[in-house]
Amino acid sequence: MSDVKKGLAGVVADVTAVSKVDPETNTLLYRGYPVQELAATQPFESVAYLLWHGELPAAGQLDEQRAAERAQRALDPDVRTLLDMLPLDAHPMDDVRTAVSLLGARELAGTGSVLDASGSVEDNLRRSLTLFAALPAIVAYGQRRRRGLEPVPARDDLDYAANFLWMTFGEESDPVVVDAFNRSMILYAEHSFNASTFTARVVTSTLSDLYSAVVAAIGALKGPLHGGANEAVMRVFDEIGDASQVPAWLDTALAQKRKIMGFGHRVYKRGDSRVPTMKTALDSLVAHYDRPDVLELYSALESEFVARKGIYPNLDYPSGPAYNLIGFDTATFTPLFVAARVTGWTAHILEQAASNALIRPMSQYDGAAERHVDGYVPLA
Ligand code: ACO
């Protein structure tokens, strides 16, 4: 069994120029830029451009991309009709997965053969921008529909983050809130060969299309060991209640061998490079909404769990309570992650397609030894 790398742990599956994760120095670079610098200085649109094209945009390039993105922000009527068919208690991750599938089916209608679906670089850049532009309306409508509210028309005079909040809440958000949300989108945008990105690359490696790769990636992100953890963190906060309950809650949870959501990481073992930036954004939201109780619970669980297990928070730990303070429903948190990570996924899809090799690992068989059907007695 010595050759088996369970969970592909430690396996370097390919090269990438999209991002670099260095757990030793605790750095995360997008196309060479530290993510903290990008989060502090850039609108999410510029980071999307950087991930797709390899360079930050010049003014004219950003204007051009902005115009194309703003022109595709509106909630598509066909998507709305489809979403309205889903049960109100379906998970919002199923909304986004279904909506992306519809957008793909429509865009690829008429391609005729699977051989034509994968598309050119230009096709895939255009499709990436379409998904980037369309997802906020889909996520916002998901929350509004479950609250019995009509969709809010997109605004074309607001940046991506401000418009996303506008479409969700139907009012302009305070700049402190827009800034925290914009930072979260940038921090969630990309993280090398994580499970969902690798899924997108596997699908792309078969010469399937970008939409199919993104649908598959959404499925991978939904799980609580990956993107679903931001939702799960909030459910843990709700379960604990307040800071004074942390020690007793943790005694029980650890005795039951529960995984504590929002802690631990396959790559980072001494803390996630994105956490300090997101924690600063959470601090600003706590001050803005005057909710010191949130920080008390956050700090109590972090210090108690780190002291007991030596396992540190990941990005989902501060982002869960941050999204809750902004007013997002808990089940909407992972779809927010989708809206951000679609930029990284599509950058990897472009990279995989440009230098493709079918991804097909080996397995080591440990099932029944060879046997033959002549001894088998069929059921009557
Ligand atoms: N709570 C309790 N114990 C944990 C946790 C946790 N959150 N994370 C790791 N451990 C323990 C494991 O139980 C295991 O202990 P053992 O050796 O005694 O069996 C040990 O630490 C190693 O953990 P693994 O799960 O084997 O490590 P892996 O690298 O596979 O796990 C993972 C990484 C899946 C993220 C894990 O830490 C986890 O389940 N965390 C909770 C879910 C979560 O927050 N996911 C978000 C990931 S980041 C992101 O998507 C933005």
Q: How far is the CA of 256 from the centre of ligand 1 (A)?
A: 15
Whole-prediction pTM: 0.96
Query: Is residue 191 flagged as an active site residue?
Result: no
CA distances from 380 to 284, 377 (A): 70, 9
CA distances from 213 to 56, 233, 330 (A): 25, 27, 26
By C-alpha distance, which of 192, 156, 215, 170 is closest to 23? 192
Q: Is 260 in the pocket of ligand 1 (CB under 6 A)?
A: yes
CA-based R_g, the chain, Å: 22
pLDDT at 375: 82
Q: Mutual orientation of helices 333-354 and 229-240 as an angle, nearest 10°?
A: 160
pLDDT at 190: 98
Q: Mutual orientation of helices 44-53 and 59-71 as an angle, nearest 10°?
A: 110
Q: How far is the CA of 253 from the centre of ligand 1 (A)?
A: 14
44, 161 Cβ separation under 8 angstroms: yes
pLDDT at 24: 87
Query: Is residue 372 flagged as an active site residue?
Result: no
Query: Is residue 89 flagged as an active site residue?
Result: no
| Given the residues 265, 272, 329, 348, the one annotated as active site | 265
Index of the ligand 1 atom closest to the CA of residue 191: 51
Distance from the Cα of residue 112 to its chain's centroid: 31
306: how many CB neighbours lie within 10 A of its CB?
14
Index of the ligand 1 atom closest to the CA of residue 272: 48
Q: Is 311 in the pocket of ligand 1 (CB under 6 A)?
A: yes
38, 344 Cβ separation under 8 angstroms: no
Residue ranges in the chain whose pLDDT is less than 50? none
Which residues are 28's β-sheet partners? 21
> Across the beta sheet with 19-22, what order do the strands follow?
19-22, 27-30, 33-34
By C-alpha distance, which of 198, 202, 205 is closest to 221? 198
Best mutation site among 35, 235, 250, 263 for ligand 1 pocket (most ligand atoms within 8 Å of CB): 263
Cα-Cα-Cα-Cα dihedral sign, residues 252, 255, 257, 262: positive
**Which residues, at least 6 apart from 161, have a Cβ–Cβ distance to it below 8 Å?**
43, 44, 178, 179, 181, 182, 185
pLDDT at 2: 63
The question of ipTM being above 0.85 is answered as yes
